[in-house]
Structure 1
Amino acid sequence: MKKLIIPILLLIVCFTLSSCRGDDEMLVPSTGTQVQPPTHPEFITGFYLLNEGNMGSNKCTLDFMDYTTGYYHKNIYAETNPSVVMELGDVGNDIQIYGKKLYAVINCSHFIEVMDKKNARHLGTIDIPNCRYITFHEGYAYVSSYAGPVQIDPNARLGYVAKVDTATLQVIAECAVGYQPEEMAIVGNKLYVANSGGYRVPNYDRTVSVIDLNTFTEMYKIDVAINLHRLKADRYGNIYVSSRGDYYTVPSNLYVIDTQTDEVTDTLDIAASELWIDDDYLYLYSTEYSYTNEKEWEITYALIDTRTKQVISRNFITDGTEKQIKKPYGIAVNPETKEFFVTDAKDYVSPGTLYCFTPQGKKKWSVTTGDIPAHFVFVPK
């Protein structure tokens, strides 16, 4: 009789979980892998990694690295929230922490998933069409939105930034910006928004919108370059903004905006797909492709000193591990330990790999992730 009890209980649990999630959807349990010994961090207890999942596959997943145990936990959201049908949704595009809440921007599912930062437990959602990136300031979240459907359209409408009350999770205002707005950064009381115009190809946008947060109105646009994407602020009052180019004759490039004058002061003549700033250093990688030359993807890395705006290294991975990375897709630096991470999306349809490196660029460990590992957020103590 005792031998029968445990299997029966397991069947009951499985039936309950599958009933909550719909007849055709089964819960995939999380998996844990110990990648390093337990540590006792002073400030950062771990990080979340949001896996985008291929568009249309509804395979966005969430992983968590726990420094206190040394375990990397893959696909934690489904197990933590078994009653949430369809789990995280279609294409995770950004993840951030503000206060006690964890925010995941789910682009093609048109909402922001709000969770408890301690355990990723579902707290609510914020409905915003074609949402892209999120940032925070004085109790409010600011979310960039393409506004329209997910499709190439030469007549695609202007995008906007939604202002969200983080206490109520309600959108309280919208501010129109450029076409298909992407990443944002706040310096003082100004919100900077990179406008891509990606849906209106070949008529890309080429501006950064500047919003006055006191009035939540667009003050003006800064002309930079076509098809803007990444936008990061350093601690010297500069904004770094990347251009993806047109994938034909105009290459990717990186520009610097002085937020005192709101003018472009530097063109760095370096391709950039993703940026991460830690202290005085900007880490970047680039994955470039040109239809005109029909060349293979050109993958490069660089480290920039934000004090001088000079490239100080063309490869911060120093042990040759970069040769194993097929398609770099995410980058992050632990602000406490200074170890850094690079993800590999591989073929974009199968599980990726996360690589951890020492501050000196030597590989510490690697682990399998969900599909298209992309966006990091570190969890403060």
Structure 2
Amino acid sequence: MKKIYFLILAFVISFANAQTEGVLVLNEGGAGSNSAEISFINNQSVVTNNYYKSKNNNAVLGDTAQDIKIFGDKIFVVLNISNQIKVINKSDFSLITTISSNLDNPRYIAFSGNKFYVTNWGGNGSTTNYVSVYNISTYAHEANIPVGNGPEKIFAKNNKLYVLLKGGFGLNQFMDIINTTTNTVESQVNVGNSPNSIFEKDNLLYIMSSGDPYSATSFGRLTVYNTTTQTVASSTTFPVGVKPSYMDTDGTNIYYMNEASIYKTSIASPSITTTPIAITPITVNSYGTAYGFNVVNNKIYAADPQGYIAPGKIYTYDLQGSLLNTFTVTSLPNQIIAYSNASLSTVENAKASKLSLYPNPASNKFFVEGLYSGNVKVYDLNGRIAINTQYSENGIDVSALSKGIYIVKITDKNNSFSEKLIIK
């Protein structure tokens, strides 16, 4: 009986660990205080602060966490003042390695092929701004690509990198486009002063700019850039006084913030609206407003710096703007991303060998041969859940997904099955 009890207990613990899902909150921490950290909010709305420290024998993450991304089974955290990138095992959150070569004021990270790319402000001066290139397998530094002043957000698509130039220690209004074959900037596009956000849908890049914060005559701009023709498809200037600070998407709509308010507009026909779907409790002052903003798993997350002196707050809303929850995290939360410690391996579980996806590649729907019911989750390569639904004989609608590679995870009472899916 005792043996059976321990077997059951081990199974329960294993199952609980395998099902760890929710969101990670990157907390920047005070500059120079070495207090950067990560908070984990699980799907039951339970917050665990100092999550990195708790999983790494009380070790310190670093100074001024700027960016966090999941790629495959690893988490990458860019630490600005530490001039480091921490690579973390996604399954148990243990530290794999620390990268510190060729980083000088690193900002944001992106992945393409077998490489990853990191934007760097460098020192004070336009000649020191660059994108550093690393091998994804060995973490070895391979090159530096000079770019314009103040490189921030970076987006990878096909053999191109799109780098938003916010200005760093000054002001900038361009997007540099890098050819990853030659590691050179091949063109530059004016996207408005202080570009802050970028995402892609159906070969179109959507770029949000805030405008010059010190000029009464400079306003925000939404630029749509066609990656097929490499031309600007449209450019919309916001009304007087509107300087949007963040933007994200759920794949159908655009969500953005201006001061403490959240706005929503359709991707298919974006327009400037004057009516917010929500007004957050975030205080508007000379230091700014929100400190982070993301749309994750059909929820809106707004990060409140709480005056830069108190533990930060995370406000969660549904996609219609109703407040769902408020969480207390640590100092200066600036990003929220989806997290699951489940492996995204494309190798089938042996017990599920009779299951298979078809058609693959898919464009509108896919089906699972041998499956009649069960939970279906579709992840992008950053580990974010793009679809979470129950399987039916009508298949899974993927028409809203952008072209690319995804991981499908299927769970029912008999099977646990993962397979790569290509959306064409």
Could you tell me which residue of structure 1 aligns to residue 71 of structure 2?
A: 98
Preserved CA contact (<8 Å) 1:158 1:180:
no
Which residue in 2 is equivalent to 1:271? 243
Instruction: Tell me which of 92, 111, 115 is aligned to 1:136.
Output: 111
Distance 1:55 1:210, change over 3 A: same
- 1:160-183 CA distances to partner (integer Å, 9 max, x unpaired)? 111111211122122111011010
Sort the Cα spacing of 1:205 and 1:191 in 2 relative to 1 into closer, same or farther, 3 A: same
AA in 2 matched with 1:279:
G
Instruction: Indicate the percent of aligned positions where both proteins have the same amino acid.
Output: 24
Q: Check 1:156–1:236 CA distance in 2 against 1; reply closer, same or farther (3 A cut).
A: closer
Give the whole-Å Cα distance in 1 for the aligned partners of 2:281 and 2:221.
24
In the alignment, structure 1 residue 45 sits paired with structure 2 residue 21? yes
Alpha-carbon distance between aligned partners in 1 of 2:189 and 2:51, rounded to the nearest angstrom: 41
Output the CA distance in 1 between the equivalents of 2:68 and 2:237. Answer: 28
Q: Aligned partner of 1:185: which letter?
A: F
Q: In the alignment, is the contact (CA less than 8 A) between 1:345 and 1:351 conserved in 2?
A: yes
- In terms of mean alpha carbon deviation, does 326-335 or 299-308 score higher? 326-335
Residues 118 and 159 (structure 1), Cα distance of their counterparts in 2 relative to 1, 3 Å cut: same
Cα distance change of structure 1 residues 140 and 247 upon mapping to structure 2, 3 Å threshold: same
* Secondary structure at 2:127 match in 1: coil
**Superposed displacement of residue 313, structure 1:** 6.7
Structure 1 residues 80 and 43: alpha-carbon distance in aligned structure 2, compared to 1, 3 A threshold:
closer
Q: Shift in Å at residue 59 of structure 1?
A: 1.5
- Uncovered stretches (5+) of structure 1, i.e. residues with no partner: 1-39, 288-298
Q: Partners of 2:92 and 2:268 in 1: how far apart? A: 38
Q: Which amino acid aligns with 1:331?
A: F
Q: 1:240 matched to which residue of 2? A: 207
CA distance, structure 2, for counterparts of residue 83 and residue 44 of structure 1: 21
> Does the Cα contact within 8 Å between 2:198 and 2:205 map onto a contact in 1?
no
1:275 to partner: Cα distance:
1.4
Deviation at 1:70, TM superposition (A): 4.2
Counterpart contact for 1:105–1:132, Cα < 8 Å: yes
Residues 236, 116 of structure 1: alpha-carbon distance in 2 compared, 3 angstrom cutoff? same
- Give the C-alpha shift of residue 324 in structure 1: 5.8
User: What residue number does 1:295 align with?
Assistant: none
Matching residue within 302, 327, 331 for 2:293: 331
Equivalent AA in structure 1 for residue 81 of structure 2: C
Distance 2:216 2:274 in 1: 26
The residue type equivalent to 2:30 in the other structure is: N
Q: Paired residue for 2:339?
A: 379
Alignment of 1:169-318 (within 5 A): 169-199=139-169, 201=170, 204-259=171-226, 260-263=229-232, 265-269=234-238, 270-287=242-259, 299-311=260-272, 314-317=275-278
Distance in structure 2 (CA, Å) of the matches to 1:311 and 1:354: 26
Using the TM superposition, give the Cα deviation of residue 244 of structure 1 relative to its aligned residue in structure 2, in angstroms. Answer: 4.0
Cα distance in 1 for partners of 2:49, 2:98 equals 22
Q: Is 1:342–2:289 an aligned residue pair? A: no
Pairs aligned (count):
314
Change (3 A) 1:309 1:62: same
Contact residue 197 and residue 248 of structure 2 kept, 8 A: no
| Deviation for aligned residue 1:123 | 0.8
SS at match of 1:351: coil
Tell me the distance in 1 between the aligned counterparts of 2:210 and 2:233: 13
Per the TM alignment, residue 66 of structure 1 is displaced from its structure 2 partner at its CA by 2.0
CA deviation string 1:53-101 (max 9, x = no partner) = 122222111101222x5422111111211263xx122111111100110
Q: 2 CA distance for matches of 1:286 and 1:237?
A: 23
Contact 1:177 1:209 in 2 (8 A): yes
SS at match of 2:312: strand
User: Letter of the aligned partner of 1:100 in structure 2?
Assistant: D
Q: Specify the code of the residue in structure 2 equivalent to 1:81.
A: N
Taking structure 1 as the reference length, what is the TM-score of the superposition? 0.76
Give the distance between the partners of 2:132 and 2:189, measured in 1 at CA. Answer: 20
Please give the alpha-carbon distance, in whole angstroms, between the structure 2 residues aligned to 1:43 and 1:249.
Answer: 50
Deviation at 1:314, TM superposition (A): 3.3
Flag the 1:43–1:83 CA change in 2: closer, same or farther, 3 A. closer
Q: Deviations over 1:196-249 (max 9, x none)?
A: 2231x3xx3322100112222211111233333333323351331314414233
Normalised to the residue count of structure 2, the TM-score between the two structures is 0.68
Report the alpha carbon displacement of residue 346 of structure 1 after superposing the two structures with TM: 1.4
User: Is the alpha carbon distance of 1:325 and 1:341 closer, same or farther for their aligned partners in structure 2, counting shifts above 3 Å?
Assistant: farther
CA separation in 2, counterparts of 1:70 and 1:224? Answer: 38
Q: State the distance in 1 between where 2:294 and 2:195 align.
A: 21
Q: In 1, Cα distance between the equivalents of 2:89 and 2:212?
A: 38
Q: Which structure ranks higher in relative contact order (CA pairs < 8 Å, sequence separation ≥ 6)?
A: 1
Stretch moving more, 260-269 or 185-194:
260-269
CA contact (8 A) 2:192 2:221 kept: no
Q: How many angstroms apart in 2 are the aligned matches of 1:331 and 1:278?
A: 13
Residue identity in the other structure for 2:57? P
Moved more, 49-58 or 263-272: 263-272
Map of 2:122 onto structure 1: 147
- 1:110 equivalent in alignment to 2:83: yes
**1:18 match:** none
Q: What is the CA deviation profile of residues 238-273 of structure 1, one whole-angstrom value per residue up to 9, with x for unaligned ones?
A: 331314414233434123132223336212315221
Specify the alignment match of 1:28 in structure 2: none
